[in-house]
A and B are shown apart, each in its own frame.
Chain A
Amino acid sequence: MSHHTTDYIGKPTNRVDGPAKVAGTAKYAAEFNVPNLLYGYVVSSPIAKGKITKIDAAPVLALPGVHQVFSHENVPSLAWLDRSYKDDVAPGGSPFRPLHDAEIKFSLQPVALVVADTFELARYAASILHIEYEEVAHETELAKHLDEAYEPGRGKTGYKPPKSRGNFGKGWKEGVAHMEAQYSHHAQHHNPMEMFASTVEWLGDKNLNIYDKTQGAFNSQQYVMKIFGLSKDQARVISKYTGGGFGSGLRPQYQLFLAVLASLELQRSVRVSLTREQMFSFGHRPETLQHVALATAADGSLTGINHVAVAETSQFEDFTENVVGWSGTLYDCQNVELGYRLSKLDVFSPLDMRAPGAASGSIALEIAMDEMAYAAGLDPLEFRIRNYSDFDQAQNLPYSSKALRKCYAEGAAKFGWEKRTAEPGSMKDGNLLVGWGMGGGIWDASKMPATVKASLDADGHLTVSSGTNDIGTGTYTIMTQIAAQSMGLPLEAVTFVLGDTTLPQSPLQGGSWTAASVGNSVVEACSKLGEALLKQAQQMDHPAFKDAKIEDVEFANGQLRLRADDTQAVVLRDLVQASGEPKIEAENSTVLAKLEMLKPPKYSMHAHNAVFVEVKVDPELMTVHVTRVVNAVAAGRILNPKTARSQVLGSVVWGISSALMEESVMDHRFGRYMNHNYAEYHVPVNADIHDIDVVFVSEEDDKVNPLGVKGLGEVGLLGVAAAVANAIYHATGKRVRDLPVTIDKLL
C-alpha cells in the first residue's frame, strides 16, 4: 500500500477545535446572546419529600422587570402520557415531569422558574419567592433499605439481568482458598465544568432555535417535540460544544424543559442556566453496596465467583446499569453467581456516569481479586494471568480480539512490577511507605447506526457532517482525520460539522461508541462520495477513467487518480466545477447497520485495560499520594494517540478521585447532598496528580467494525480506583473497602 501525506489515521493530530476553545470563540449553550433575551432562574425545593401548599408569586411579579413565575399552578396543559416524557435513554418507569404537580419527590427538585429581564433580577426574585411546603418523612439511606431491594424488570430499556452459570456453591466448596467481603462507594455527581443551560431563541410562530447543553441534540429535540407538540422544524436543537458531559448530558435536563416552556408561553427568547448547587439535583452515579466471594483451587484457578450489588434508584424510575455482569466475563470460571437489585429512595433517578456500572463493579471485583491473590499466596498479576479468559463464557462467544495479555505484560514491564515484594509494608522510600497495586477491566465495544453526509464544494473543500456531539472527547478531530484520509485531502481542506438536528441523524455521544459508529459512517459516506466523483469523471469523458471501477482509483493529493498510473489524475475541485452543481454530495445508508443490530452477535467485542499504581503513604499522618500510574489499554485501532491518551489520562485522574476523595455526601436527615459546590466536592487538583503513563498495546481487529476501533472514553477508568486501594493495602496493610479512602479511614 502506498503512503500518502494525508494518512492521518493513527497520527497524534492536534485538536481541530483547540484554537476556538482556547481563544474563547467556541460558544457554549449559555453564551448565545440572542436579541431580547429573558433569563430564567430555577427555584429548588429545600425538602426531599412532601408537597407544595402555597406559592405566593404576587410580590415577585410586582417587581419591575419580572415577567412570569412558572410553577405547577400555571403551567399550561402539556403532553399527558409518560411516553412523551421519555427520552432515548430513559430507564423504565415514569419520568419526572418538571412543574407537573405539587408533589416533591427529591431535594432540590425544581419547583418554580422566575423569568426576568436580567439574570441578576431573576436570581434575586427567585430568592424572595415565598413557597410553603408540607413535609413528609423521606427515605434516602440505601443501607437501611436493603430488605426492600428488588430485581428490576427487563422492561423495554434493553436491560438484561446478569446471567449466572454453573454452581457457585459447588465451586466455593471445591476451593482451597477463599475470600468474602462487602464493598461500598458513595454517589458521585458528574459536575462537568459547564453547567446545564439552554438558550431558546424565539423565531416567531413557535419556531425555536434551542442551544442546549447535551450529549445528544436529537434526544433533546425528540423530548421537546413530544412534550410541547412541536414539529422537527420548530424545534431545532444546536449543540456545537459541550463543556464536559461524562454522561450527565445523556438525558435532557430540566432546564431544557423550563426554557422551552417559558419561551413558548412568553413568546420570547429565554435562557435558563443551572447553578453548581443545582448540578446536584439530578442524575448521578448511584451509591452501591456490593458483596463478592471468590474461591480458588490449589493452582490458583478460580473455582467460584459470586458478585451481588444493590444500588439506589428513585421512586419513579428503575435506573439500571451493568455492575456485576463483567465479573462473569473478565476471568475464566465455571461457577459464577451474579445478582443485581435496586432499592427505591427519595432521590432523583441515577444516571449513566463514565463507565456506568463497570466503574462501580470493578471497584469491588478488582479489590476482591487482590484479596483473593493474597489469600491464595499469589502475586496479583500472576493470579489474573492464571485466570485469563480466552473465550467469553458469559456470552458463549469467542472474542473478536483481546490483547489483555499484552496489557498485563507491557504495563507490568513499564511499571517495573517484577520488583514488587508481596508483603504489605515491605517497600519504603525514606520514611514513606510504598505500595504497588493493580487492577483492570473490560468495556463493551459498541457501534450504533449513524448517518453522515460528505459534501465536496467547487473550491475543493470537503464538509462532512453528522448530528453527533463532541463532549470533549476529540470527535471533531478524529472525524476530520478519517474524512481527510478517505478523500486524500489535507486536514485544512476538511471541516467536520456536528451538534445540530438539521444534520444527518446520529446517536447521542455515550457508551464509547462514537468513534466506531460515526467513524465507520464517515468512511462509508466518503466512499459513496468517491463513487459519485468517479461517475462525474466518467461523465466528463476522461479517457483514463472510462472503464475504471472504484477499486481501480484512489484519492490523493486532492486528486482522483488511477492506482495503476498516478499520472492519470483529475483535480477533485474540477470535478465539482464541471458538474455544474455547487457541490457533489453523498450520504451513507444505515440500513445494514440497523439490520446488524438485530442479528445475534458472532463475537464478544470488548476493550480491556490493566492498570498499575504506586502510592506513597506517610506512616504516621496516613496521607496518601498516587505517585505513579501505568495504564495499558487494548482498544483496537487508535485513531489519534494524542486525543486517545487524553481520554485515558482523564480516566486515570477520575479513578484517583474515586479512590481518594470524590463523593456526594448526603445528610439523610434532610435527604440532601451537603457538599454541593466545587470547594467541597473534591476532585484532584494538579498537585494530586503525578506521573501517568498511558500505553496502547497493539490490537488488530477486523471483526469488530471495518475501522477496527473499539472506543476508549471509558475503559481507562476501570480498575484504577481499585488499584489505588490495593496499593494502599500493600503500603499499609489496611484494607479499605468503602471508597473513597479518606484519611480518617486509615488512621
Chain B
Amino acid sequence: MQQENNFSESRRDFIKNLFIGGGVTLALGNLSFTFFDSEKGIEKKVIICDFSKCTGCRTCETSCVAYNFATQDGFETYGIVNPKNANIRVNKFNPDLDIPATCAGCPDTPCINACPINVDRKTGEKALYLNKLTGAISVNVEECIGCGKCAKACETERVGVIRQNQESGKPEGLCTYCDGDPSCVKNCPYGALSYVKVDTNYEFFGKSPEQIAGILTERYYK
C-alpha cells in the first residue's frame, strides 16, 4: 500500500482516501473485516504479537500515536509524539523481554460489564460500549463519569490496557484498529505484529504482560 511506513496519515486523511481514486474498493474491503456483527457471526479482529520477533523498539507505539492522535489541541502532530500515549504499550522486563500489549477484544467484555453507567436502557448500552462499526471498545465521553471501574476490571481480569486520564479519570488506551488497517502492524520493522481474529484459545489470550513475561522467562531464560 502506498501508505506503508507513513506514520501520520491521519484518520481524516484515511477517510478522505477512501473516497478518492482506486483505493476505495481495497480500503472498503479492509474496513469490512472490522465490522463487528455478532449476529452475522463476523468475528472481531485484534492485534497480537509474535514475542519471538519483537525487539522492543517501540515503533508500534509511536506509529499508533501518530495515527490516532494526528491532531492535538488543533495542531497536526506530524508523527512527533510521545510513545506513552499509545494504545499499544511495549512492556519491558528483566530478564530482557518486550511484551507489547493492546486490547485483547475479549468477547465477554469484563470492562463493559464493570461500567456502572447505563446510557440506553433499551439496548443496554453503557458509557463504555462496543462500537459496532469499528469493533473497538469506545467511551461515551459525555456520559462517562471517570470512575475507573473498567480499568480495574481489565487490570484484574485481563491484559490491563485501560488507563485513566490523569485529569478526568476517563478510560484511555483502547485500541481503535485504525479503521481496519492498524498502524502498529504495518509499521513494525520486525513483522512482529499481526491483525487476526480473536481466538480465546490462543496461548496468551487476555493475559497480562506480567503473566506473559513469566511464561516466556521460563521458556527463554531457564
Q: Do A and B bind each other?
A: no
Interface residues of A (CB under 8 A from B): none
